Amino acid sequence: MVKRQRSEELTIKVWGDLACFTRPEYATERVSYPCITPPAAVGFLSAIFWKPEFDWKIRRIGLINPPAWVSITRNEITDRASSRQTNGALQGISATEKRSQRHNLMLRDAAYLVTAQIELRPHADAPPRKYSEQFRRRVKKGAFFTPPYLGLREYTGFFSEPGDEDIVDKTINHPIGTMPLDLGFPTYEAGHHATNPGTINPTWFPATIHNGVLEIPETVTT
């Protein structure tokens, strides 16, 4: 296997008032991991800057603030709106009939230093530095393609270049357990169809926050 080219490590500050990175072992209630997960971090960075020539690889996540929990019960709709039409009108949903209350155990005042690399895909025809410099410019200007969020779309995320005051809290040591590394969605290469379209193959790793840092491994078991 040919080793793909990677950029130098890129670090940004990510924060928000509320965040929820749902643990999959809770079927009916939303319970957040104690920090942002690698797939959520990839989604956040991709909202700022993404091209079909590369993938984001998360290297480590530093916690600026210790995990702080808040419990909220909120109304949610159990069905999705249909795109089908009846007599020329879209089919609606009755919020009263389809309403369900769900308990959410989420994070407040979440703040992280996310360190990642840009990994080029085989069809990329420019060096990694080109993309890393574009990313830095976008972070400096506060530009993004879609509004970034922390787990759920209603939990707006903010980002900036790290400042001198943005340091990892080294007193944080927290065993997490199994955490997703990659959700395993099909990938597309230039001129080729997706690998195993319609399927996902998630990968997991045993996660532990040590001295305020969650290290992300290169290899995991499926």
Residue 87 lies in a domain: no
Banded pLDDT at 91 (limits 50, 70, 90): low
| CATH number, domain with residue 114 | 3.30.70.2660
pLDDT tens-digit readout, 26-77: 877 889 999 999 999 999 999 999 999 999 999 999 999 999 999 988 767 6
Domain assignment present for residue 5? The answer is no
- Two structure tokens written together for 222: 């499926």
Q: Is the CB of residue 42 less than 8 Å from the CB of residue 74? A: no
Instruction: Provide φ and ψ at 36, rounded to 5°.
Output: -60, 140
Find out whether 88 and 1 touch, Cβ atoms under 8 Å: no
* Residue 153 included in any domain: yes
Number of domains in the chain: 1
Examine residue 93 and state whether it is found in any structural domain, yes or no: no
Beta strands in the chain (DSSP E): 10-19, 30-31, 54-63, 69-77, 85-86, 89-90, 99-120, 149-150, 152-156, 158-160, 174-182, 203-210, 213-215
Q: Is 65 part of a structural domain of the chain? A: yes
Domain enclosing residue 177, as ranges: 10-77+106-215
**2-34 pLDDT tens trace:** 678 999 999 999 999 999 999 998 877 889 999
Residues 105-119 pLDDT 10s: 999 999 999 999 999
pTM of the model as a whole: 0.85
Q: Would 117 be classed as within a structural domain?
A: yes
Confidence label for 190 from pLDDT (cuts 50, 70 and 90): very low
Phi/psi at 42 (5° precision): -60, -45
Question: Residue 122 domain-assigned?
Answer: yes
| Contact indicator for 213, 205 with CB cutoff of 8 Å | no
Tell me the H-state helices in the chain. Answer: 38-48, 128-141
* Number of neighbours of residue 113 by Cβ within 10 angstroms: 20
Question: Of 115, 143, 140, 144, whose CA–CA distance to 47 is shortest?
Answer: 144
Instruction: Note whether residue 170 is domain-resident.
Output: yes
